[in-house]
Each structure stands twice: as structure tokens, then as C-alpha cells.
């Protein structure tokens, strides 16, 4: 007989470790191998009568279970910027960069993202960067169309181009006329001013910047005429506001090196004051619209609408008790 061996068998069932010693002989091992499957336990199992069922481990919780997760905020998307490809890709020194119709609106008040189109000459070109920053800080989304030495006929072409692109917003700033007064007769200049305002229409708010000229008697007289003319025109058009740039520049003693163009200080002043004028106009328009929207609609009064005639109710005639009829008198018969 094979010497006996002491074997420690560990049976794991349902998370419980069982160990029991027993004596195994060769004959016993052989008997175990020859035993039917129903009389033996599979490897790794335990007798279900002696093993407690496994209990899943408890999960520690610090509070009520939450199944919903916070919804991540959705970042807004904007259309791409639209660049006017009809403008030179590399414009000459006296022109502004290509006009851009921004896809992302600016933030802030009073602009609140609204757009403004600025059409001007070299004075607009030199103050464009300052004005762009100030406009955006006030919530405006600007587009500039500016070119040095240009006149009102060029401005009409730019307005037509912007309309073709559907890029003429409610607010428009026009700063043209400096190059017209010395080269174009007054009648033509006034006609072009009115043509531009007619094409902009009554529903748009237009700010026209007047002229500050000091380089010759002839030009100064023409500038005085232009400033008076634009104010006469504006009086007939409630949607037109004249920006008194001449008064502002002279009160601030903005220096000019050639009677027309300013230094850095003058262009900073121009950008700031034109933005202030736009903000003031927009706030005035917004107040008027808010007041109009809050005004109750007048209802017709009794003086204008006669009251409906009063019709007395129709009553049924009173019911009368029937009058008893006389009993018939028996007639006498001859005998």
C-alpha cells in the first residue's frame, strides 16, 4: 500500500474558505475517480448544505443616489465673417482694409450686438481702429467702408454694394463731404446727399458727421455752406442726426497739420465722440420705442360710440280665469 499522505484541501464556495484534513490512499483516490459524477462535487464547489449563500458586499453611500448628471452648457456657434471680395485684397495705402461683416456680434450696451455701417474718407480711415474698439466696447458690431479722397458719388456706389450683399443695418454713419466741397458744385453735392438719404430710407437711423475745415477761405466758406445744408436736410428727415464734429474738434482744440487731418489725439477724440453720438441716438430711439410699446391703446368712449338702445323685456299677458258660461235655460214646450 502507498504510504498515506496528509492533504489539506481548501474548498472555496460562495466566498467561504473551508479546510479539512483527510487521509487519502491509492484505493480511495481510485474510488473517487471511479465514482459517478452525481456523488462528487465539481472542483471549486462546496456542499450547498454546509455553505452559507454569498451575500453581495454592501456599498457605502454618503447620501441619496443621484442618477441625473448635470447637463453641460452648449457653446453658441456663429456664422463665419463675410469679407467683401470686390474690395482689393491688398488695398493701397489710402484705403481701409477689406470691409468685413462679422459673424460674431459684439456684447454690451447700448449696442447689444446691433450692427452699424460706417462710410467715410481718410478721416474715417485714420480713426477706424480707435472707433472700432470703442464701438465694440459699447456693444456695436461695426463694418467700415472707407477710402481716402473719396466723394459722395463713391459713397453711393458703396451703399449700392452693401445693399447687394444685404449689409446695410438699421444704423449708418456717413462721414463724407470734405472732398466734395472743393471739387463739386453745391447743387450736385446737395442732390447726392439727398439721394443717399433717400436710398437709405426712413426706417434707418443715419448719423451724418459735419465738416471741420481750416485751410483756405474758399474751403472754409464751402464747409460752412455744407454744414448748414446738411442741417436743413436733417430737419426734414426725423431719422437723420447731424454729429457736430466741427464744434467738438474746435472746443477740444484738436490740432490739424494741414487744415483737414488730425494727429493721434484728434483721431482718438473723433472715435470717442462718434461712438458717443451713436450711443445717444440709439438710447433715444430705444426709449421712444419702449414708451410706444407700453402705451395702452385708447378705447372708444361713450361720446363717440352711442350706447345700444334699451329694449324693455317682453312679458306674457296675465292669465285670466275663464268666465263660467251661463247654464242653458230649459225651453218650455207646448203641451
State how far the Cα of 321 lies from the Cα of 300, in Å rounded to an integer: 52
Mean pLDDT of 317-332: 43
pLDDT reported for residue 76:
87
Range with the largest mean pLDDT of 2-6, 38-42, 250-254: 250-254
For the cut 80, the answer to whether the pLDDT of residue 135 exceeds it is yes
Of residues 226 and 331, more confidence is placed in 226
Query: Which residue from 190, 196, 150, 148 is spatially nearest to 173, judged by alpha carbons?
Result: 196
16-30, 87-101, 304-318: range with highest mean pLDDT: 87-101
Question: 175 pairs with which residues across the strands?
Answer: 120
H helix intervals, the chain: 26-34, 122-137, 152-164, 186-200, 217-235, 245-251, 264-294
pLDDT above 70 for 310 = no
100-117 per-position pLDDT tens digit: 999 999 999 999 999 999
Cell for 65?
Answer: 443616489
How far apart, in whole angstroms, are the C-alpha atoms of residue 174 and residue 144? 10
**Residues 6+ away with beta carbon under 8 Å from 246:** 210, 211, 212, 223, 227
Q: Which of 111-125, 264-278, 312-326 has the lowest mean pLDDT?
A: 312-326
Q: Which residues have C-beta within 8 Å of that of residue 109, sequence separation ≥ 6?
A: 138, 139
* Cβ-based neighbour number of residue 53 at 10 Å: 9
Q: Evaluate if residue 28 carries a pLDDT over 60.
A: no
User: Is the predicted pLDDT of residue 3 greater than 90, yes or no?
Assistant: no
pLDDT score for 291: 94
* Residues 187 and 153 sit within 8 Å (Cβ to Cβ): no
Q: What percent of the chain has pLDDT over 90?
A: 64
At residue 120, the pLDDT reads: 98
Write down the pTM of the prediction.
Answer: 0.69
Query: For the segment 208-255, what is each residue's pLDDT rounded down to a tens digit?
Result: 999 999 989 999 999 999 999 999 999 999 999 999 999 999 999 998
Number of Cβ within 10 Å of residue 278's Cβ equals 28
Would you call the peptide bond into 204 cis, given omega within 30 degrees of 0 as the criterion?
A: no
| Domain positions in the chain | 5-39, 82-293
Share above pLDDT 70 across residues of the chain, in percent, rounded to a whole number:
67
More confident residue, 66 or 201: 201
The β-bridge partners of 24 are: 5
Say if residues 171 and 114 touch (Cβ distance below 8 Å): yes
> What are the pLDDT digits (tens) for 49-65?
444 444 455 544 455 55
Q: What is residue 54's predicted lDDT score, i.e. its pLDDT?
A: 47
Fold (topology level) of 82-293 = Rossmann fold (3.40.50)
pLDDT band, residue 281 (cuts 50/70/90): very high
In terms of DSSP H, where are the helices of 236-308? 245-251, 264-294
* pLDDT, average across residues 300-328: 49
Indicate whether 68 pLDDT > 90: no
> How confident is the prediction for the chain on average, in pLDDT?
79
- The separation between the first and the last C-alpha atoms of the chain, rounded to the nearest angstrom, is 166
**b/e code 181-208 from CB counts within 10 Å (16+ = b):** beebeeeebbebbeebbeebeeebbbbb
Cell numbers representing residue 235 in the block: 430737419
* Cα–Cα distance, 224 to 235 (Å, whole number): 17
Q: Cα–Cα distance between 152 and 182 in angstroms, integer?
A: 13
- What is the model's pLDDT at position 208? 98
Select the more confidently predicted residue: 33 or 223: 223
Task: State the pLDDT at residue 332.
Answer: 38
Amino acid at each position: 500500500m502507498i504510504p498515506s499522505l496528509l492533504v489539506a484541501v481548501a474548498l472555496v464556495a460562495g466566498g467561504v474558505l473551508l479546510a479539512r484534513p483527510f487521509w487519502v490512499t491509492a484505493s480511495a483516490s481510485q474510488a473517487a475517480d471511479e465514482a459517478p459524477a452525481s456523488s462528487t462535487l465539481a472542483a471549486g464547489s462546496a456542499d450547498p448544505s454546509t455553505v452559507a449563500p454569498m451575500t453581495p458586499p454592501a456599498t457605502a453611500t454618503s447620501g441619496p443616489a443621484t442618477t441625473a448628471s448635470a447637463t453641460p452648457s452648449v457653446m453658441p456657434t456663429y456664422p463665419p465673417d463675410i469679407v467683401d471680395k470686390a474690395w482689393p485684397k491688398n488695398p493701397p495705402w489710402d484705403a481701409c482694409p477689406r470691409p468685413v461683416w462679422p459673424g460674431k456680434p459684439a456684447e454690451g450696451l447700448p449696442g447689444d450686438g446691433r450692427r452699424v455701417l460706417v462710410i467715410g474718407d481718410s478721416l474715417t480711415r485714420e480713426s477706424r481702429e480707435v472707433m472700432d474698439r470703442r464701438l465694440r466696447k459699447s456693444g456695436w458690431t461695426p463694418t467700415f467702408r472707407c477710402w481716402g479722397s473719396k466723394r459722395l458719388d463713391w459713397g453711393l456706389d458703396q451703399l449700392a454694394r452693401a445693399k447687394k450683399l444685404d449689409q446695410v443695418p438699421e444704423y449708418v454713419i456717413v462721414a463724407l463731404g470734405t472732398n466734395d466741397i472743393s471739387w463739386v458744385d453745391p447743387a450736385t453735392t446737395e442732390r447726392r446727399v439727398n439721394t443717399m438719404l433717400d436710398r437709405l430710407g426712413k426706417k434707418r437711423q443715419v448719423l451724418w458727421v459735419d465738416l471741420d475745415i481750416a485751410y483756405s477761405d474758399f474751403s472754409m466758406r464751402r464747409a460752412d455752406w455744407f454744414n448748414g445744408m446738411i442741417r436743413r436736410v436733417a430737419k426734414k428727415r426725423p431719422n437723420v442726426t447731424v454729429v457736430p464734429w466741427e464744434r467738438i474738434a474746435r472746443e477740444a482744440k484738436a490740432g490739424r497739420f494741414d487744415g483737414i487731418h488730425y494727429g493721434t489725439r484728434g483721431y482718438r477724440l473723433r472715435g470717442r465722440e462718434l461712438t458717443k453720438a451713436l450711443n445717444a441716438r440709439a438710447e433715444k430711439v430705444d426709449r421712444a420705442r419702449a414708451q410706444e410699446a407700453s402705451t395702452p391703446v385708447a378705447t372708444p368712449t361713450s361720446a363717440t360710440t352711442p350706447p345700444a338702445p334699451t329694449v324693455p323685456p317682453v312679458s306674457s299677458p296675465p292669465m285670466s280665469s275663464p268666465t263660467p258660461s251661463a247654464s242653458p235655460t230649459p225651453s218650455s214646450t207646448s203641451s
